[in-house]
Structure 1
Amino acid sequence: MDMKPVIVVHGGAWAIPDNLAESSKLGVRDAATCGFSILVNGGSSLQAVEAAVQILEDNIAFDAGHGAVLNADGEVELDAIIMDGKNLAVGAVSCIKNIANPIMFARTIMEQTPHVMLTGSGANKFAEKMNIEKVPTEELVTENAIKEWEQYQRYKQSVTSLFNTERMHDTVGAVAIDSMGNISCATSTGGITNKMVGRVGDSPIIGSGAYADNFTGAVSTTGHGESIMKVTLARQVLFNMEKGESPQCAAEHALEYMKNKVHGRGGLIVVSKSGEWAASFTTKRMAWACAENKILSYGLNPGENFQEKINM
């Protein structure tokens, strides 16, 4: 099989402020270009999505790894998932601390254990056993994240008010299809400011934060985690595609269903088994980028689609 490689990435669906707009666009462009380079050089979709998400985790413009936000106790708790559409292999982590690249650890769990997900202290113990480097909390947290957390503490703002204003920082993710027709997805997040200790959102939950199946396609979601889990958003998109809908229609209908059913907003990226893709969102903005045919497409605002050639 000789498929056209495609990778799509997102940097979170929320009310991205103007001071983060440019860095968000540059960040997703860099991640998509990196993942595409792996694909055109014969790498697998799994390698591509992992590498793309690692780049986003290392970028403080996003809320995953570096740039993560603080929970109610002023700590960082990270979640991530990676899935191989060829055999439905999955690795996920939740509520882990002091690991800069949770997506790499999620892949380790997929390949080195019989389990799908590890959480909390048990996950961190396994990370030590696998010699995955720990980093100080200060290395992951930005000054802005600290200021935001202090504001919530000062005014006793609730997580509910955070959702209503769409001010939450959010998840990053990637989906890809390689030249062999294999499809993969990856999603990673640092959660939401002032969340309850131990809260797990949609990101590491199979079928909610991500799903991949060579039979249909792959999805990575972003937005209000509790709403996404209630409608299993990622799988909902693929259900729609299995009924014959295009990736764009499937994405729009799934997001509309979530909005009508549970009043939740968010966004997602999707790629089909034939290489069709879409990036759709119901929030004010979502940073996204797609690389295919040596063309890079990217955007931030509704209806926005910039294009440029990829030099490699």
Structure 2
Amino acid sequence: MPADPSGPGGSTPRDVVIAVHGGAGTVPRGSLSGERERAYHDGLTEALRAGSRELGGGGSSLDAVEAAVRVLEDAPCFNAGRGAAFTADAGHELDASIMNGRDLAAGAVTGVRHVANPVSLARLVLERSDHVLLAGAGAEEFALRHGVPHSTQDYFFTQRRWDLLLAAKQAGRGDGSGGTVGAVAVDAAGDLAAATSTGGMTNMLPGRVGDSPVIGAGTYADNRTVAVSCTGVGEVFLRGVAAYDVAALMDYTGATVADAARTVLLEKIPALGATGGAIALDPAGALATPHSSEGIVNGYLTRDGSIVTRVYDDETPATG
């Protein structure tokens, strides 16, 4: 893994073409088994390579973020798709959104229970419907009409997520461990795109909707400013309209991506009572990864093909 130019004391990564995240939270050194650490690094790397193949093959940034997030949805170590958290009734409800910075077109789904890759269903909503957000049974019916394979609920089962649900119930918590995955990219035409996908929060009430499927809260992309994918306590990111707030600060005040993202993630969101993080990429390839949580699992790929993946808390500065 190449040295990280944005490590402690370093600068904002430059010349980034695609970046991904696997959720904000706390991952101190020594807390992961070697197998799980490799799973994180391998998942991030595979996602970046999938996105890079799309960009290198003449695909758009929209193609790249969809491809990257699909990989993360398929990796059971992340809370999206196959590794989704359990709701309070021991089910899985998945959310995703995707946005094109070129024309502000967007698609999203929430509360889907039988779709292995919600990010691709979100893109179908963008491209094959007159709507932005479809929910629950309507989203499932839309998926079937467009040939999306039906996945049974047991596809999403992982022992780790089941154990987290049991622990949350025993502790009497209304919520528990969460997490989200996402990607941002810029293509050769200078078009930005962002996508986010999540399995929600452990032991959440059925029907709960967080920020991930809400354009402007968990996901936003505008060629004039930035592509953003957020991760954290969804209710607060909804209230703070976090992803759009980064873009608005850049648009209205001329703030850099680093300063705008830092203001939102390190000042405004914590002031509302929550922690979290984001990946934010500007059209020139400057990447910000600020987080008020202890860390954020993330990675990025630069124009020269270098890949950096970061899992532990001390690998990504809070103001990065």
TM-score (norm. length: structure 1): 0.90
Q: Show the counterpart of 2:301.
A: 291
Whole-angstrom distance in 2 between the partners of 1:145 and 1:260: 27
**Partner residue in 1 for 2:64:** 48
What's the CA shift for 1:186? 0.4
For 1:43 and 1:151, locate their aligned partners in 2 and report how far apart those are by CA, in whole Å.
Answer: 44
String of CA shifts for 1:131-151, please: whole Å, max 9, x gaps: 211112111110111122122
**2:17 corresponds to which residue?**
6
SS of residue paired to 2:284: coil
* CA–CA distance in structure 2, aligned partners of residues 189 and 100 of structure 1: 12
Residues 28-54 of structure 1 show CA distances to partners (whole Å, capped at 9, x for unaligned) of 122112212221222110000000000
Which residue of 2 is the match for residue 264 of structure 1?
A: 274
- 1:302 is displaced (CA, Å) by 4.2
Please give the alpha-carbon distance, in whole angstroms, between the structure 2 residues aligned to 1:237 and 1:271. 11
- The yes-or-no answer on 1:301 pairing with 2:320 is no
Deviation string for 1:107-137 (max 9, x for gaps)? 0111111000000111111111112111121
Partner in structure 1 of residue 139 of structure 2: 123
Q: Is the 8 A contact 2:107 2:124 kept in 1?
A: yes
Equivalent of 1:254 in 264, 269, 282: 264
Q: CA deviation at 1:76?
A: 0.5
Partner Cα separation in structure 1 for residue 290 and residue 184 of structure 2: 14
| Cα distance between partner residues in 1 of 2:259 and 2:183 | 19
> SS of 2:197's equivalent?
strand
The percentage of aligned residue pairs carrying the same residue is 37
Match of 1:73 among 82, 86, 89: 89
Structure 1 unaligned segments of length 5 or more: list them. Answer: 163-167, 306-312
| Structure 2: runs of 5+ lacking an equivalent | 1-14
Give the whole-Å Cα distance in 1 for the aligned partners of 2:291 and 2:46.
21
SS of the residue 1:268 aligns to: strand
Q: Which shows bigger deviation, 44-53 or 239-248?
A: 239-248
The answer as to 2:158 corresponding to 1:142 is yes
Match of 1:88 among 104, 110, 135: 104
Contact persistence 2:295–2:314 (CA under 8 A): no
- Corresponding residue of 2:205: 196
- Superposition deviation, residue 283 in structure 1: 1.2
TM-score by length of 2: 0.88
**Could you tell me which residue of structure 2 aligns to residue 309 of structure 1?**
none
Question: What is the DSSP-based 3-state SS (H/G/I as helix, E as strand, rest coil) of the residue aligned with 1:241?
Answer: helix
Taking the aligned partners of 1:238 and 1:51, their CA distance within structure 2 comes to 24
Q: Is the 8 A contact 2:266 2:290 kept in 1?
A: no
Per-residue deviation, 1:15: 2.1
Alignment of 1:180-195 (within 5 A): 180-195=189-204
Distance 1:267 1:260 in 2: 11
Q: Which whole-Å CA distance do the structure 2 matches of 1:147 and 1:5 have between them?
A: 37
1:51 maps to a residue whose letter is A
Distance in 2 between the 1:116 and 1:172 partners?
Answer: 20
Are the aligned partners of 1:177 and 1:273 in contact in 2 as well (CA < 8 Å)?
A: yes
Aligned residues: 295
Aligned mates of 2:266, 2:211 — CA distance in 1: 18
